[in-house]
Chain A
Protein backbone atom coordinates (compact mmCIF):
# COMPACT_ATOMS: atom_id res chain seq x y z
CA UNK A 1 0.00 0.00 0.00
CA UNK A 2 1.43 3.32 -1.06
CA UNK A 3 1.59 6.42 1.06
CA UNK A 4 -1.24 8.10 -0.85
CA UNK A 5 -3.59 5.17 -0.34
CA UNK A 6 -2.62 4.98 3.34
CA UNK A 7 -3.38 8.67 3.89
CA UNK A 8 -6.68 8.42 2.02
CA UNK A 9 -7.74 5.36 3.99
CA UNK A 10 -6.99 7.03 7.32
CA UNK A 11 -8.93 10.17 6.36
CA UNK A 12 -11.96 8.15 5.20
CA UNK A 13 -11.88 6.14 8.44
CA UNK A 14 -11.77 9.32 10.53
CA UNK A 15 -14.73 10.84 8.60
CA UNK A 16 -16.74 7.63 9.06
CA UNK A 17 -16.00 7.62 12.78
CA UNK A 18 -17.19 11.19 13.12
CA UNK A 19 -20.35 10.40 11.15
CA UNK A 20 -21.15 7.47 13.45
CA UNK A 21 -20.43 9.61 16.53
CA UNK A 22 -22.85 12.26 15.25
CA UNK A 23 -25.61 9.66 14.75
CA UNK A 24 -24.91 7.96 18.10
CA UNK A 25 -25.00 11.31 19.85
CA UNK A 26 -28.49 11.97 18.49
CA UNK A 27 -29.98 8.60 19.38
CA UNK A 28 -28.35 8.16 22.82
CA UNK A 29 -29.87 11.40 24.01
CA UNK A 30 -33.28 10.46 22.62
CA UNK A 31 -33.27 7.61 25.16
CA UNK A 32 -33.01 10.14 27.95
CA UNK A 33 -36.02 10.07 30.24
CA UNK A 34 -38.16 13.18 30.60
CA UNK A 35 -39.47 15.84 28.31
CA UNK A 36 -36.76 18.27 27.14
CA UNK A 37 -39.09 21.24 27.27
CA UNK A 38 -40.06 20.42 30.85
CA UNK A 39 -36.35 20.11 31.64
CA UNK A 40 -35.73 23.59 30.27
CA UNK A 41 -38.56 25.27 32.14
CA UNK A 42 -38.55 23.69 35.55
CA UNK A 43 -41.35 25.90 36.69
CA UNK A 44 -44.87 24.60 37.39
CA UNK A 45 -46.36 27.99 36.50
CA UNK A 46 -45.54 27.56 32.81
CA UNK A 47 -48.88 26.71 31.19
CA UNK A 48 -49.55 23.71 28.98
CA UNK A 49 -50.14 25.96 25.95
CA UNK A 50 -46.77 27.64 26.36
CA UNK A 51 -45.12 24.24 26.61
CA UNK A 52 -46.87 23.12 23.43
CA UNK A 53 -45.70 26.30 21.69
CA UNK A 54 -42.12 25.71 22.81
CA UNK A 55 -42.34 22.14 21.60
CA UNK A 56 -43.36 23.40 18.16
CA UNK A 57 -40.66 26.05 18.21
CA UNK A 58 -37.94 23.47 18.89
CA UNK A 59 -39.42 21.05 16.35
CA UNK A 60 -40.13 18.43 19.02
CA UNK A 61 -43.62 17.80 17.62
CA UNK A 62 -42.08 16.44 14.40
CA UNK A 63 -41.32 12.72 13.92
CA UNK A 64 -37.89 11.39 14.89
CA UNK A 65 -36.61 11.37 11.30
CA UNK A 66 -37.50 15.05 10.89
CA UNK A 67 -35.76 15.85 14.15
CA UNK A 68 -32.66 14.02 12.98
CA UNK A 69 -32.51 15.99 9.73
CA UNK A 70 -32.88 19.24 11.65
CA UNK A 71 -30.15 18.14 14.06
CA UNK A 72 -27.68 17.40 11.28
CA UNK A 73 -28.57 20.68 9.55
CA UNK A 74 -27.99 22.67 12.73
CA UNK A 75 -24.74 20.85 13.35
CA UNK A 76 -23.51 21.76 9.89
CA UNK A 77 -24.13 25.40 10.81
CA UNK A 78 -22.16 24.94 14.02
CA UNK A 79 -25.28 24.98 16.18
CA UNK A 80 -25.20 22.53 19.10
CA UNK A 81 -28.37 23.79 20.75
CA UNK A 82 -29.03 25.75 23.90
CA UNK A 83 -27.64 24.92 27.32
CA UNK A 84 -30.53 24.41 29.79
CA UNK A 85 -28.60 25.63 32.78
CA UNK A 86 -26.67 28.55 31.31
CA UNK A 87 -29.36 29.63 28.79
CA UNK A 88 -26.72 30.35 26.20
CA UNK A 89 -25.73 28.48 23.00
CA UNK A 90 -23.67 25.39 23.81
CA UNK A 91 -21.05 26.39 21.23
CA UNK A 92 -20.51 29.70 23.03
CA UNK A 93 -20.15 27.99 26.42
CA UNK A 94 -17.69 25.44 25.02
CA UNK A 95 -15.59 27.98 23.11
CA UNK A 96 -14.92 29.95 26.28
CA UNK A 97 -13.69 26.86 28.14
CA UNK A 98 -11.50 25.23 25.48
CA UNK A 99 -8.37 27.43 25.98
CA UNK A 100 -8.27 26.65 29.72
CA UNK A 101 -8.44 22.91 29.11
CA UNK A 102 -5.80 23.08 26.38
CA UNK A 103 -3.49 24.98 28.71
CA UNK A 104 -3.85 22.32 31.40
CA UNK A 105 -3.58 19.29 29.08
CA UNK A 106 -0.62 20.55 27.06
CA UNK A 107 1.33 21.55 30.17
CA UNK A 108 0.61 18.27 31.98
CA UNK A 109 1.36 16.05 28.97
CA UNK A 110 4.61 17.87 28.19
CA UNK A 111 5.92 17.37 31.70
CA UNK A 112 4.67 13.77 31.81
CA UNK A 113 6.36 12.86 28.52
CA UNK A 114 9.67 14.51 29.40
CA UNK A 115 9.80 12.94 32.85
CA UNK A 116 8.35 9.55 31.87
CA UNK A 117 10.52 9.06 28.78
CA UNK A 118 13.69 10.06 30.63
CA UNK A 119 13.04 7.77 33.61
CA UNK A 120 11.81 4.94 31.36
CA UNK A 121 14.87 5.19 29.11
CA UNK A 122 17.23 5.06 32.08
CA UNK A 123 15.31 2.11 33.57
CA UNK A 124 15.40 0.22 30.27
CA UNK A 125 19.08 1.07 29.70
CA UNK A 126 19.97 -0.30 33.14
CA UNK A 127 17.36 -3.06 32.99
CA UNK A 128 17.57 -5.52 35.88
CA UNK A 129 19.29 -3.06 38.21
CA UNK A 130 17.94 -1.87 41.57
CA UNK A 131 17.07 1.49 40.03
CA UNK A 132 15.07 -0.28 37.30
CA UNK A 133 13.06 -2.36 39.80
CA UNK A 134 12.34 0.66 41.98
CA UNK A 135 11.18 2.79 39.03
CA UNK A 136 9.00 0.00 37.64
CA UNK A 137 7.28 -0.73 40.95
CA UNK A 138 6.70 2.98 41.54
CA UNK A 139 5.21 3.33 38.06
CA UNK A 140 2.76 0.45 38.44
CA UNK A 141 1.59 2.03 41.69
CA UNK A 142 1.43 5.50 40.14
CA UNK A 143 -0.92 4.57 37.36
CA UNK A 144 -3.14 2.62 39.74
CA UNK A 145 -4.08 5.78 41.63
CA UNK A 146 -7.20 7.36 40.13
CA UNK A 147 -6.55 11.00 39.21
CA UNK A 148 -9.49 12.27 41.28
CA UNK A 149 -8.29 10.37 44.38
CA UNK A 150 -4.79 11.80 44.02
CA UNK A 151 -6.34 15.22 43.41
CA UNK A 152 -8.29 15.02 46.67
CA UNK A 153 -5.17 13.95 48.56
CA UNK A 154 -3.16 16.85 47.08
CA UNK A 155 -6.03 19.26 47.74
CA UNK A 156 -6.23 18.21 51.39
CA UNK A 157 -2.51 18.23 52.01
CA UNK A 158 -1.31 21.28 50.09
CA UNK A 159 -4.36 23.52 50.05
CA UNK A 160 -5.99 22.87 53.45
CA UNK A 161 -3.50 21.36 55.91
CA UNK A 162 -0.47 23.24 54.55
CA UNK A 163 -2.03 26.08 52.57
CA UNK A 164 0.78 26.41 50.04
CA UNK A 165 -1.41 26.31 46.94
CA UNK A 166 -4.85 27.79 46.18
CA UNK A 167 -8.01 25.65 46.57
CA UNK A 168 -9.01 25.87 42.94
CA UNK A 169 -9.94 28.09 40.05
CA UNK A 170 -7.53 29.47 37.49
CA UNK A 171 -6.45 32.81 39.00
CA UNK A 172 -6.98 34.90 42.12
CA UNK A 173 -10.30 36.68 41.60
CA UNK A 174 -10.24 40.49 41.49
CA UNK A 175 -6.49 40.60 42.03
CA UNK A 176 -5.88 42.91 39.07
CA UNK A 177 -2.70 41.03 38.13
CA UNK A 178 -1.31 41.73 34.69
CA UNK A 179 1.54 40.52 32.54
CA UNK A 180 4.12 38.36 34.30
CA UNK A 181 2.26 38.57 37.62
CA UNK A 182 -0.77 36.97 35.97
CA UNK A 183 1.31 34.19 34.41
CA UNK A 184 2.80 33.43 37.82
CA UNK A 185 -0.65 33.40 39.41
CA UNK A 186 -2.05 31.00 36.79
CA UNK A 187 0.97 28.70 37.11
CA UNK A 188 0.41 28.70 40.88
CA UNK A 189 -3.21 27.64 40.40
CA UNK A 190 -2.29 25.07 37.79
CA UNK A 191 0.35 23.30 39.86
CA UNK A 192 -1.90 20.87 41.78
CA UNK A 193 -4.34 19.92 38.98
CA UNK A 194 -1.44 19.45 36.54
CA UNK A 195 0.46 17.32 39.08
CA UNK A 196 -2.49 15.01 39.61
CA UNK A 197 -2.65 14.40 35.85
CA UNK A 198 1.14 14.15 35.39
CA UNK A 199 1.61 11.41 38.01
CA UNK A 200 -0.67 9.00 36.16
CA UNK A 201 0.98 9.64 32.79
CA UNK A 202 4.53 9.42 34.09
CA UNK A 203 3.74 5.87 35.22
CA UNK A 204 2.34 5.02 31.81
CA UNK A 205 5.25 6.53 29.85
CA UNK A 206 7.89 4.94 32.08
CA UNK A 207 6.48 1.44 31.60
CA UNK A 208 6.12 1.95 27.86
CA UNK A 209 9.52 3.54 27.19
CA UNK A 210 11.22 0.98 29.39
CA UNK A 211 9.79 -2.07 27.61
CA UNK A 212 10.45 -0.51 24.22
CA UNK A 213 14.00 0.27 25.29
CA UNK A 214 14.56 -3.29 26.54
CA UNK A 215 13.40 -4.62 23.14
CA UNK A 216 15.70 -2.27 21.26
CA UNK A 217 18.71 -3.14 23.43
CA UNK A 218 18.47 -6.75 22.24
CA UNK A 219 18.66 -5.73 18.56
CA UNK A 220 21.73 -6.50 16.51
CA UNK A 221 22.44 -2.90 15.52
CA UNK A 222 23.08 -2.08 19.17
CA UNK A 223 25.63 -4.89 19.35
CA UNK A 224 27.16 -3.56 16.14
CA UNK A 225 27.37 -0.05 17.57
CA UNK A 226 29.03 -1.46 20.68
CA UNK A 227 31.46 -3.48 18.57
CA UNK A 228 32.37 -0.31 16.67
CA UNK A 229 33.48 1.06 20.03
CA UNK A 230 31.03 3.98 20.14
CA UNK A 231 30.64 5.84 23.38
CA UNK A 232 27.75 4.70 25.59
CA UNK A 233 26.08 8.09 25.52
CA UNK A 234 26.23 8.11 21.71
CA UNK A 235 24.66 4.62 21.46
CA UNK A 236 21.94 5.65 23.88
CA UNK A 237 21.09 8.85 22.03
CA UNK A 238 21.53 7.99 18.37
CA UNK A 239 20.83 4.27 18.23
CA UNK A 240 18.69 3.10 21.13
CA UNK A 241 16.49 6.01 22.12
CA UNK A 242 15.61 7.05 18.57
CA UNK A 243 14.14 3.63 17.78
CA UNK A 244 12.65 3.11 21.21
CA UNK A 245 10.60 6.29 20.86
CA UNK A 246 8.53 5.12 17.88
CA UNK A 247 5.93 3.22 19.96
CA UNK A 248 5.86 6.16 22.36
CA UNK A 249 4.68 8.39 19.52
CA UNK A 250 1.80 6.05 18.74
CA UNK A 251 0.71 5.71 22.31
CA UNK A 252 0.52 9.48 22.66
CA UNK A 253 -2.41 9.40 20.23
CA UNK A 254 -4.15 6.63 22.15
CA UNK A 255 -3.37 8.44 25.39
CA UNK A 256 -5.32 11.48 24.33
CA UNK A 257 -8.46 9.39 24.71
CA UNK A 258 -7.49 8.75 28.33
CA UNK A 259 -6.39 12.36 28.77
CA UNK A 260 -10.08 13.21 28.56
CA UNK A 261 -10.61 11.15 31.73
CA UNK A 262 -7.73 12.75 33.62
CA UNK A 263 -8.89 16.22 32.62
CA UNK A 264 -12.47 15.66 33.75
CA UNK A 265 -11.32 14.31 37.12
CA UNK A 266 -8.64 16.93 37.83
CA UNK A 267 -10.77 19.86 36.65
CA UNK A 268 -13.67 18.69 38.81
CA UNK A 269 -11.59 18.39 41.98
CA UNK A 270 -9.81 21.72 41.50
CA UNK A 271 -12.73 23.67 39.98
CA UNK A 272 -10.59 24.43 36.93
CA UNK A 273 -12.96 26.28 34.57
CA UNK A 274 -12.34 24.03 31.55
CA UNK A 275 -14.38 21.60 29.44
CA UNK A 276 -13.89 18.75 31.95
CA UNK A 277 -15.46 20.70 34.81
CA UNK A 278 -18.23 21.58 32.36
CA UNK A 279 -18.96 17.86 31.94
CA UNK A 280 -19.35 17.52 35.72
CA UNK A 281 -21.58 20.60 35.92
CA UNK A 282 -23.69 19.36 33.00
CA UNK A 283 -24.19 16.01 34.76
CA UNK A 284 -25.14 17.51 38.10
CA UNK A 285 -27.62 19.89 36.46
CA UNK A 286 -28.90 17.26 34.02
CA UNK A 287 -28.08 19.71 31.23
CA UNK A 288 -28.23 17.25 28.31
CA UNK A 289 -27.48 19.62 25.40
CA UNK A 290 -24.35 20.80 27.17
CA UNK A 291 -23.31 17.22 27.99
CA UNK A 292 -23.92 16.29 24.36
CA UNK A 293 -21.71 19.18 23.27
CA UNK A 294 -18.91 18.22 25.64
CA UNK A 295 -19.00 14.62 24.42
CA UNK A 296 -18.93 15.71 20.77
CA UNK A 297 -15.98 17.99 21.45
CA UNK A 298 -13.94 15.27 23.19
CA UNK A 299 -14.75 12.68 20.52
CA UNK A 300 -13.93 15.07 17.69
CA UNK A 301 -10.65 16.15 19.30
CA UNK A 302 -9.55 12.56 19.80
CA UNK A 303 -10.38 11.46 16.26
CA UNK A 304 -8.45 14.44 14.88
CA UNK A 305 -5.46 13.85 17.17
CA UNK A 306 -5.33 10.19 16.20
CA UNK A 307 -5.54 11.03 12.52
CA UNK A 308 -2.66 13.50 12.86
CA UNK A 309 -0.53 10.98 14.73
CA UNK A 310 -1.30 8.27 12.16
CA UNK A 311 -0.28 10.56 9.31
CA UNK A 312 2.93 11.69 11.04
CA UNK A 313 3.71 8.05 11.76
CA UNK A 314 3.17 7.15 8.11
CA UNK A 315 5.87 9.63 7.18
CA UNK A 316 8.33 8.71 9.96
CA UNK A 317 8.14 4.96 9.64
CA UNK A 318 8.04 3.67 6.03
CA UNK A 319 7.25 0.11 7.21
CA UNK A 320 3.76 1.13 8.20
CA UNK A 321 2.64 1.91 4.64
CA UNK A 322 4.09 -1.31 3.30
CA UNK A 323 2.52 -3.74 5.78
CA UNK A 324 -0.97 -5.14 5.29
CA UNK A 325 -2.64 -2.91 7.87
Chain B
Protein backbone atom coordinates (compact mmCIF):
# COMPACT_ATOMS: atom_id res chain seq x y z
CA UNK B 1 0.00 0.00 0.00
CA UNK B 2 1.93 2.97 -1.22
CA UNK B 3 -0.77 5.52 -0.70
CA UNK B 4 -1.47 7.29 2.55
CA UNK B 5 -4.37 9.68 2.44
CA UNK B 6 -3.24 11.77 5.36
CA UNK B 7 -3.47 15.15 3.77
CA UNK B 8 -5.84 16.71 1.31
CA UNK B 9 -3.40 16.72 -1.59
CA UNK B 10 -3.22 12.93 -1.34
CA UNK B 11 -6.94 12.82 -2.05
CA UNK B 12 -6.40 15.06 -5.05
CA UNK B 13 -3.59 12.86 -6.28
CA UNK B 14 -5.71 9.75 -5.81
CA UNK B 15 -8.52 11.17 -7.93
CA UNK B 16 -6.05 12.34 -10.56
CA UNK B 17 -4.76 8.78 -10.82
CA UNK B 18 -8.33 7.49 -10.96
CA UNK B 19 -9.27 9.84 -13.81
CA UNK B 20 -6.12 8.84 -15.66
CA UNK B 21 -7.00 5.14 -15.41
CA UNK B 22 -9.17 4.19 -18.45
CA UNK B 23 -11.34 1.75 -16.48
CA UNK B 24 -11.70 4.20 -13.60
CA UNK B 25 -12.71 7.03 -15.93
CA UNK B 26 -15.26 4.91 -17.80
CA UNK B 27 -16.72 3.62 -14.53
CA UNK B 28 -17.02 7.08 -12.99
CA UNK B 29 -18.62 8.48 -16.15
CA UNK B 30 -21.36 5.83 -16.20
CA UNK B 31 -21.97 6.19 -12.45
CA UNK B 32 -22.40 9.96 -12.92
CA UNK B 33 -25.12 9.36 -15.53
CA UNK B 34 -27.03 7.14 -13.11
CA UNK B 35 -26.51 9.64 -10.26
CA UNK B 36 -27.95 12.35 -12.51
CA UNK B 37 -30.94 10.12 -13.22
CA UNK B 38 -31.57 9.62 -9.51
CA UNK B 39 -31.10 13.29 -8.56
CA UNK B 40 -33.27 14.74 -11.31
CA UNK B 41 -35.86 11.94 -11.35
CA UNK B 42 -38.85 14.27 -10.82
CA UNK B 43 -37.79 16.33 -13.85
CA UNK B 44 -36.87 13.38 -16.08
CA UNK B 45 -39.82 11.14 -15.29
CA UNK B 46 -42.83 11.96 -17.45
CA UNK B 47 -45.47 10.12 -15.41
CA UNK B 48 -46.05 8.77 -11.92
CA UNK B 49 -44.26 5.39 -12.20
CA UNK B 50 -46.76 3.60 -9.94
CA UNK B 51 -49.96 5.01 -11.45
CA UNK B 52 -51.95 2.60 -13.60
CA UNK B 53 -53.18 4.06 -16.88
CA UNK B 54 -56.18 3.61 -19.16
CA UNK B 55 -57.04 0.17 -20.54
CA UNK B 56 -56.20 1.11 -24.13
CA UNK B 57 -52.64 1.87 -22.96
CA UNK B 58 -51.94 -1.66 -21.67
CA UNK B 59 -48.61 -3.12 -22.85
CA UNK B 60 -48.00 -0.73 -25.72
CA UNK B 61 -44.57 -0.46 -27.39
CA UNK B 62 -42.65 2.84 -27.19
CA UNK B 63 -44.60 5.91 -28.37
CA UNK B 64 -44.08 9.67 -28.13
CA UNK B 65 -46.15 9.74 -24.92
CA UNK B 66 -44.63 6.61 -23.36
CA UNK B 67 -40.98 6.70 -24.39
CA UNK B 68 -40.26 3.13 -23.30
CA UNK B 69 -43.81 1.82 -23.69
CA UNK B 70 -46.05 0.61 -20.86
CA UNK B 71 -46.39 -2.49 -18.69
CA UNK B 72 -49.40 -4.76 -18.13
CA UNK B 73 -51.00 -2.17 -15.81
CA UNK B 74 -50.40 0.61 -18.35
CA UNK B 75 -47.71 2.16 -16.17
CA UNK B 76 -44.98 4.20 -17.86
CA UNK B 77 -41.75 2.18 -18.13
CA UNK B 78 -39.48 5.20 -18.77
CA UNK B 79 -40.53 6.71 -15.43
CA UNK B 80 -40.12 3.37 -13.64
CA UNK B 81 -36.56 3.16 -14.95
CA UNK B 82 -35.78 6.74 -13.89
CA UNK B 83 -37.16 6.32 -10.37
CA UNK B 84 -35.65 2.82 -10.11
CA UNK B 85 -32.15 4.32 -10.14
CA UNK B 86 -32.95 5.96 -6.78
CA UNK B 87 -33.66 2.59 -5.17
CA UNK B 88 -30.57 0.83 -6.52
CA UNK B 89 -28.23 3.68 -5.63
CA UNK B 90 -29.71 4.29 -2.17
CA UNK B 91 -29.50 0.63 -1.23
CA UNK B 92 -26.02 0.36 -2.76
CA UNK B 93 -24.58 3.37 -0.93
CA UNK B 94 -26.30 2.91 2.43
CA UNK B 95 -25.53 -0.81 2.61
CA UNK B 96 -21.90 -0.18 1.60
CA UNK B 97 -21.58 2.53 4.26
CA UNK B 98 -22.93 0.30 7.03
CA UNK B 99 -20.91 -2.70 5.84
CA UNK B 100 -17.61 -0.85 5.56
CA UNK B 101 -17.97 0.94 8.89
CA UNK B 102 -18.93 -2.14 10.87
CA UNK B 103 -16.40 -4.31 9.04
CA UNK B 104 -13.62 -1.78 9.62
CA UNK B 105 -14.48 -1.49 13.32
CA UNK B 106 -14.32 -5.26 13.79
CA UNK B 107 -11.13 -5.55 11.72
CA UNK B 108 -9.47 -2.69 13.62
CA UNK B 109 -10.30 -4.05 17.07
CA UNK B 110 -9.44 -7.61 16.06
CA UNK B 111 -6.12 -6.73 14.46
CA UNK B 112 -5.09 -4.22 17.12
CA UNK B 113 -5.84 -6.23 20.25
CA UNK B 114 -4.92 -9.65 18.85
CA UNK B 115 -4.94 -12.74 21.10
CA UNK B 116 -8.34 -13.82 22.46
CA UNK B 117 -10.28 -10.86 21.04
CA UNK B 118 -8.87 -11.59 17.59
CA UNK B 119 -9.49 -15.32 17.90
CA UNK B 120 -13.16 -14.87 18.89
CA UNK B 121 -13.93 -12.17 16.30
CA UNK B 122 -12.24 -14.08 13.49
CA UNK B 123 -14.15 -17.28 14.33
CA UNK B 124 -17.36 -15.25 13.97
CA UNK B 125 -16.11 -13.86 10.66
CA UNK B 126 -15.23 -17.37 9.45
CA UNK B 127 -18.69 -18.56 10.38
CA UNK B 128 -20.42 -15.79 8.45
CA UNK B 129 -18.17 -16.28 5.44
CA UNK B 130 -19.11 -19.93 5.23
CA UNK B 131 -22.86 -19.25 5.07
CA UNK B 132 -24.46 -19.35 1.64
CA UNK B 133 -25.10 -15.66 1.03
CA UNK B 134 -28.14 -15.63 -1.22
CA UNK B 135 -30.08 -18.38 0.59
CA UNK B 136 -29.43 -16.57 3.89
CA UNK B 137 -30.58 -13.25 2.41
CA UNK B 138 -33.70 -14.92 1.01
CA UNK B 139 -34.52 -16.48 4.37
CA UNK B 140 -34.01 -13.23 6.28
CA UNK B 141 -35.90 -11.10 3.75
CA UNK B 142 -38.78 -13.60 3.71
CA UNK B 143 -38.99 -13.70 7.50
CA UNK B 144 -38.48 -9.98 8.18
CA UNK B 145 -40.87 -8.93 5.43
CA UNK B 146 -40.24 -6.95 2.26
CA UNK B 147 -39.05 -3.39 2.84
CA UNK B 148 -36.12 -1.32 1.64
CA UNK B 149 -34.58 -1.05 5.13
CA UNK B 150 -34.82 -4.79 5.64
CA UNK B 151 -32.99 -5.36 2.37
CA UNK B 152 -30.26 -2.93 3.44
CA UNK B 153 -30.00 -4.66 6.82
CA UNK B 154 -29.86 -8.12 5.30
CA UNK B 155 -27.21 -7.18 2.74
CA UNK B 156 -25.05 -5.49 5.41
CA UNK B 157 -25.39 -8.43 7.78
CA UNK B 158 -24.16 -10.81 5.12
CA UNK B 159 -21.29 -8.73 3.70
CA UNK B 160 -19.41 -7.12 6.63
CA UNK B 161 -17.05 -10.09 7.27
CA UNK B 162 -15.07 -9.60 4.02
CA UNK B 163 -14.19 -6.03 5.01
CA UNK B 164 -13.33 -7.12 8.56
CA UNK B 165 -10.91 -9.72 7.16
CA UNK B 166 -9.15 -7.34 4.80
CA UNK B 167 -8.87 -4.49 7.32
CA UNK B 168 -7.60 -6.84 10.04
CA UNK B 169 -4.68 -8.08 7.96
CA UNK B 170 -3.77 -4.49 7.09
CA UNK B 171 -3.93 -3.44 10.76
CA UNK B 172 -1.71 -6.39 11.74
CA UNK B 173 1.11 -4.97 9.64
CA UNK B 174 0.39 -1.30 10.43
CA UNK B 175 0.52 -1.69 14.21
CA UNK B 176 4.16 -2.83 14.02
CA UNK B 177 5.23 0.31 12.13
CA UNK B 178 7.49 2.88 13.84
CA UNK B 179 4.94 5.72 13.78
CA UNK B 180 2.55 3.70 15.92
CA UNK B 181 5.37 2.80 18.29
CA UNK B 182 6.43 6.45 18.66
CA UNK B 183 2.87 7.57 19.30
CA UNK B 184 2.64 4.93 22.01
CA UNK B 185 5.84 6.25 23.59
CA UNK B 186 4.39 9.76 23.80
CA UNK B 187 1.59 8.19 25.82
CA UNK B 188 -1.23 7.77 23.32
CA UNK B 189 -4.05 5.55 24.56
CA UNK B 190 -5.25 2.43 22.73
CA UNK B 191 -8.24 4.31 21.33
CA UNK B 192 -6.04 7.16 20.10
CA UNK B 193 -3.63 4.72 18.48
CA UNK B 194 -6.42 2.83 16.76
CA UNK B 195 -8.47 5.76 15.54
CA UNK B 196 -6.01 8.58 14.93
CA UNK B 197 -2.84 6.66 14.01
CA UNK B 198 -3.88 3.41 12.34
CA UNK B 199 -7.34 4.23 10.96
CA UNK B 200 -6.25 7.05 8.58
CA UNK B 201 -3.90 4.56 6.90
CA UNK B 202 -6.73 2.13 6.31
CA UNK B 203 -8.90 4.72 4.51
CA UNK B 204 -7.76 3.81 0.95
CA UNK B 205 -8.56 0.18 1.66
CA UNK B 206 -11.96 1.17 3.05
CA UNK B 207 -12.65 3.06 -0.14
CA UNK B 208 -11.77 0.04 -2.28
CA UNK B 209 -13.99 -2.15 -0.11
CA UNK B 210 -16.83 0.36 -0.30
CA UNK B 211 -16.82 0.26 -4.11
CA UNK B 212 -16.93 -3.54 -3.97
CA UNK B 213 -19.76 -3.52 -1.44
CA UNK B 214 -21.86 -1.09 -3.50
CA UNK B 215 -21.62 -3.57 -6.37
CA UNK B 216 -22.66 -6.47 -4.16
CA UNK B 217 -25.54 -4.55 -2.59
CA UNK B 218 -26.94 -3.49 -5.97
CA UNK B 219 -26.67 -7.06 -7.20
CA UNK B 220 -28.34 -8.39 -4.04
CA UNK B 221 -31.24 -5.93 -4.26
CA UNK B 222 -31.82 -6.84 -7.91
CA UNK B 223 -31.85 -10.57 -7.20
CA UNK B 224 -34.06 -10.32 -4.11
CA UNK B 225 -36.55 -8.10 -5.95
CA UNK B 226 -36.53 -10.43 -8.92
CA UNK B 227 -37.35 -13.33 -6.61
CA UNK B 228 -40.34 -11.35 -5.31
CA UNK B 229 -38.81 -10.11 -2.06
CA UNK B 230 -38.56 -6.45 -3.05
CA UNK B 231 -40.17 -3.48 -1.31
CA UNK B 232 -43.73 -3.37 -2.70
CA UNK B 233 -44.08 0.38 -2.13
CA UNK B 234 -41.54 1.33 -4.81
CA UNK B 235 -40.72 -0.22 -8.18
CA UNK B 236 -37.05 -1.18 -8.58
CA UNK B 237 -35.37 -2.58 -11.69
CA UNK B 238 -35.25 -6.07 -10.21
CA UNK B 239 -38.95 -5.83 -9.41
CA UNK B 240 -39.76 -4.77 -12.98
CA UNK B 241 -38.13 -7.99 -14.15
CA UNK B 242 -40.12 -9.91 -11.55
CA UNK B 243 -43.34 -8.36 -12.87
CA UNK B 244 -42.56 -9.09 -16.52
CA UNK B 245 -41.47 -12.63 -15.64
CA UNK B 246 -44.60 -13.37 -13.59
CA UNK B 247 -46.95 -11.73 -16.11
CA UNK B 248 -45.94 -14.27 -18.78
CA UNK B 249 -45.64 -11.72 -21.60
CA UNK B 250 -41.86 -11.87 -21.67
CA UNK B 251 -41.85 -13.00 -25.32
CA UNK B 252 -43.79 -10.10 -26.81
CA UNK B 253 -42.62 -7.17 -24.65
CA UNK B 254 -38.93 -6.50 -25.33
CA UNK B 255 -39.44 -2.84 -24.30
CA UNK B 256 -40.36 -3.96 -20.80
CA UNK B 257 -37.51 -6.50 -20.41
CA UNK B 258 -34.55 -4.71 -21.98
CA UNK B 259 -34.38 -1.38 -20.04
CA UNK B 260 -34.13 -2.81 -16.51
CA UNK B 261 -31.54 -5.39 -17.63
CA UNK B 262 -29.44 -2.72 -19.36
CA UNK B 263 -29.60 -0.52 -16.26
CA UNK B 264 -28.76 -3.27 -13.74
CA UNK B 265 -25.86 -4.58 -15.81
CA UNK B 266 -24.65 -1.05 -16.66
CA UNK B 267 -24.60 0.09 -13.05
CA UNK B 268 -22.89 -3.09 -11.80
CA UNK B 269 -20.32 -3.04 -14.61
CA UNK B 270 -19.50 0.62 -13.90
CA UNK B 271 -18.84 -0.08 -10.22
CA UNK B 272 -16.78 -3.18 -11.14
CA UNK B 273 -14.66 -1.09 -13.49
CA UNK B 274 -14.20 1.53 -10.78
CA UNK B 275 -13.29 -1.21 -8.30
CA UNK B 276 -10.69 -2.71 -10.62
CA UNK B 277 -9.19 0.75 -11.19
CA UNK B 278 -9.06 1.53 -7.46
CA UNK B 279 -7.34 -1.75 -6.59
CA UNK B 280 -4.86 -1.16 -9.44
CA UNK B 281 -4.02 2.29 -8.08
CA UNK B 282 -3.63 1.06 -4.50
CA UNK B 283 -1.16 -1.58 -5.71
CA UNK B 284 2.34 -0.54 -4.59
CA UNK B 285 4.41 0.92 -7.41
CA UNK B 286 1.46 2.05 -9.53
CA UNK B 287 2.33 5.74 -9.23
CA UNK B 288 5.94 5.17 -10.30
CA UNK B 289 4.82 3.09 -13.29
CA UNK B 290 2.58 5.92 -14.46
CA UNK B 291 5.40 8.44 -14.08
CA UNK B 292 4.00 10.45 -11.18
Contact = CB atoms under 8 A, between A and B. Distances in A.
Contacts of A294: 135
Q: Max chain B CB contacts within 10 Å: which of A257, A258, A288?
A: A257
B245 A144 contact: no
B131 A257 contact: yes
B228 A144 contact: no
A265 B276 CA distance: 25
Contact of B269 (A144, A286, A299): A144
A291 B139 contact: yes
Contacts of B129: 257
- B: contact size bracket: 35 or more
A33 B142 CA distance: 10
- A: contact size bracket: 35 or more
Interface in B111-134: 126-127, 129-134
B94 interface: no
Interface in B222-281: 222-223, 226-229, 241, 245, 250-251, 254, 257, 261, 264-265, 268-269, 272-273, 276
Interface in A1-39: 13, 16-17, 20-21, 28-29, 31-33
Given A33-B145, A145-B265, A302 B132 contact: yes
Interface of B: 23, 126-127, 129-136, 138-140, 142-145, 215, 219, 222-223, 226-229, 241, 245, 250-251, 254, 257, 261, 264-265, 268-269, 272-273, 276
Given A144-B265, A144-B272, 12 more contacts: A21-B131, A28-B139, A31-B144, A140-B23, A141-B269, A144-B268, A149-B241, A152-B250, A257-B130, A257-B131, A288-B142, A295-B136
Interface of A: 13, 16-17, 20-21, 28-29, 31-33, 140-141, 143-146, 148-149, 152-153, 155-156, 160-161, 257-258, 260-261, 264-265, 268-269, 279-280, 283-284, 286, 288, 291-292, 294-295, 298-299, 302-303, 306
